[in-house]
Amino acid sequence: MVVKKPLTPAVVVDVALGIVDEHGLEGLTLAAVAQRCEVATPSLYKHVANLGELKALVGVRVLDDMTERFTAAVLGRGGDEAVTALMGAYRAYVNDHPKRYSAMPMDPLHDPIQKTAGAKQIDVMFATLRSYGLEGPAAVHAARRLRVLVHGFASIESAGGFGLPEGLDDTYDQLIQMYLASLRKDT
């Protein structure tokens, strides 16, 4: 993809995401972005400070995209139905964008660039869990369990790591039911 419009930070992130989708996060370099934008690499420094900042901005975009999906999935739902929808949306995102998901920051709440996007995503999770009466540490633990379960399953699945013939949807449904039972136990 050759960019024909004026460069902005958003356009640079768009191009970077295209590279990540094709080559993974390890394929993202300023030189690769500059080549696709048909500019010299130093021209990118008007829009991003360095590769680290570009990766952080890509992470923000991934967080925002995921949060938008999560929000759409849970809107108008509550309890088990909302959690099931959230877990389904999370898994679908990873399967739809496995290389892009690799740019998902592991700890966005402690990165100044990613903090706001990370907080929005965790707020959706907390809101989804609210109907179980979970607050404070109990809500944090429940959100962590959800993330670990979905991240682990979807990451293995998108990498082709489940080779046995049993249906993955059945396994995932069992995982969701196990998680829902844990939520009911917490209340």
Q: What DSSP string describes 45-109?
A: GGT-SSHHHHHHHHHHHHHHHHHHHHHHHHTT--HHHHHHHHHHHHHHHHHH-HHHHTTS-S-GG
DSSP state of 27: G
Q: Which of 173, 38, 21 is nearest to 100 (CA)?
A: 21
Virtual CA dihedral for 133, 137, 141, 147, nearest 10 degrees?
Answer: 90
DSSP state of 5: S
Q: What is the pLDDT of residues 124-155, one digit of tens each?
A: 999 999 999 998 999 999 999 999 999 999 99
Q: 104: which 2 tokens?
A: 């998902």
Question: What amino acid is encoded at 39 in this protein?
Answer: V
Q: What is the pLDDT of residues 81-131, one digit of tens each?
A: 999 999 999 999 999 999 999 999 999 999 999 999 999 999 999 999 999
| pLDDT of amino acid 165 | 87
Name the residue ranges covered by the structural domains of the chain: 9-48, 59-186
Q: What is the pLDDT of residues 29-56, one digit of tens each?
A: 999 999 999 999 999 999 999 999 999 9
Whole-angstrom distance, CA of residue 39 vs CA of residue 31: 9
Architecture category of domain 59-186 in CATH: Orthogonal Bundle (1.10)
Q: Residue 5 pLDDT > 80, yes or no?
A: no
| pLDDT of amino acid 128 | 96
Architecture category of domain 9-48 in CATH: Orthogonal Bundle (1.10)
